[in-house]
Structure 1
Amino acid sequence: MTAAEKTELALIPLAGVAAWLFGYHLPEKVGIGSLLLAASVLLLLQGLIRDLWLLYKRRQLPQDGTGRKVLCMCVESTVGVTGVVAGLILVGAMADMTLRVSPTLFSILAVTVLVIGFAIKDFVFEWRPFRLRRDKDHLNLIFSWKK
């Protein structure tokens, strides 16, 4: 496990505490679509911050300038974008059921999303052949629909 991964794991409980403290300023009733949208954006934000860190660290290393062109997509991004779309559909369709949400639930939701994001960060969906595979360094992949 790298130092960056250890740091990310250490920050997850702190994010839960921050969500709990900030949760007192959020409404008590929130729609399911809004919660799904917020959780998905949090997942995408986690991946963005991780990718920006990796890009920053990569600039300090010598480059060979080659990227692999593959038919795949990051699982974390796929789940996040799917959640955003589903959340927007629920909110837009006014089919959004309302829940009572406490600061503790906001905290649990934040920690759960961040732990799931950490767990799936190294996986990609490959289209041909269709499979789920682990690629620790998929930042160097060039996404393509066609080979």
Structure 2
Amino acid sequence: MKTNFIKNALRILLGAIMTLAGIGHLTFQRDEFLAQVPRWLPTDPAFMDFVVLSSGIVEITLGLLMIFLIKHKAKVGIALALFYILIFPGNISQYTNGIDAFGLDTDQKRLIRLFFQPVLVIWALWSTGGWKFLISKLKK
């Protein structure tokens, strides 16, 4: 799918943000990301750390693919949108359990954060041409 300068710039920005977030999972924000592991999953510290580390690797991979895999950017955008949907329960868990992380130290801030996740899904699909790609596949 062909995209314009603005979409390409925002795709690259999102890829950079994802790469940085993934690095944060593995290093300087590891404790913050532990707070987002849903509490309905096993709370064994080793398992929770595995969830944070593995999701960090996925984020780094998707971030780099968003930047460099231009030929398949629509498919990468769809994959990233699905990833955002899959990790949404962590945001819900942070809200429902009142867990402070990333400066989200009130229920109001945690609730507002929930409404930002759909923005990320739309950003991933729009900036990569993922919307048009999906629509074209559905028409066939």
TM-score (structure 2 length as normaliser): 0.34
Higher strand share goes to which structure? 1
Q: In terms of Rg, which structure is larger?
A: 1
Higher helix share goes to which structure? 2
Larger RCO (CA within 8 A; separation ≥ 6): 1
TM-score (structure 1 length as normaliser): 0.32
